[in-house]
Structure 1
């Protein structure tokens, strides 16, 4: 009887899928090492002091990272390479307000930088999220 319970437990454990499965199964993007510490006292990061503002960092990630200040305690960070095709010359998304738009002529992908959700077609891959947290006067972005 213990053996049956054990086998059933293993089956249930491996049969369950995480909520991040769609992101984990994305065949187009890798998970590059990201480790940023943005000091809000520096002028280049000043917009992140104010809710509703964002900045783009191009030195890390695949094509860069957008960091958005929701309310001075919640920050969002996403990869700006369009998650619905292989990174190429046109896959670096453009940020306008809270939307990220892919400039490739062959698609019309548009995403919210507050959630990463594709607003053109919610069934498509969402933007790749990085961890972002405010610690004192710094915003740390990692994966």
Structure 2
């Protein structure tokens, strides 16, 4: 009996564990299933090779306001292009300025290094990023 209980709880524990603790839930922004490859050897994306540079891209079937991809100097990060603390509207698209993203509707400024804005409940919505040579893959 003890062996059966031990085996049962071991299986439940193993099945309940996730290797990927990635969480990008936000009540204002839907979860899109998308993937986009950005080749940094192409002129449109070459700036991503250098620290402090960012681009806005629009993946097929991706976020309505696109994605922001940023080179922090030590890694590449990607965020949803919509303001994370409000519903998607005509003015909820983030604009990029240096290492910040600004929301025109609420005058919020988010750091592209951390995704945070002072005093705001939700940070920028992150997406997964894989870098393989010159290709940056952003996906959800």
The Cα offsets for residues 63-90 of structure 1, whole Å up to 9 and x where unpaired, read as 110100122x510000010011110000
Question: After TM superposition, what 4+ stretches of structure 1 lie above 3 angstroms from structure 2?
Answer: none
Give the TM-score, by structure 1 length: 0.76
User: Number of residue pairs matched?
Assistant: 125
Counterpart in the other structure of 1:142: 139
Which residues of structure 1 form unaligned runs of 5+? none
Matched, 1:93 2:94: yes
Say if 1:77 and 1:19 are closer, same or farther in 2 by CA, change over 3 A. Answer: closer
Matched, 1:70 2:72: yes
Counterpart in the other structure of 1:113: 112
Give the TM-score, by structure 2 length: 0.78
Backbone CA RMSD of aligned residues: 2.3
Residue 140 of structure 1: SS of its match in structure 2?
strand
What is the CA distance between 1:92 and its match in structure 2? Answer: 0.1
Which residues of structure 2 form unaligned runs of 5+? none
Matched, 1:36 2:36: yes
Residue 81 of structure 1: SS of its match in structure 2?
coil
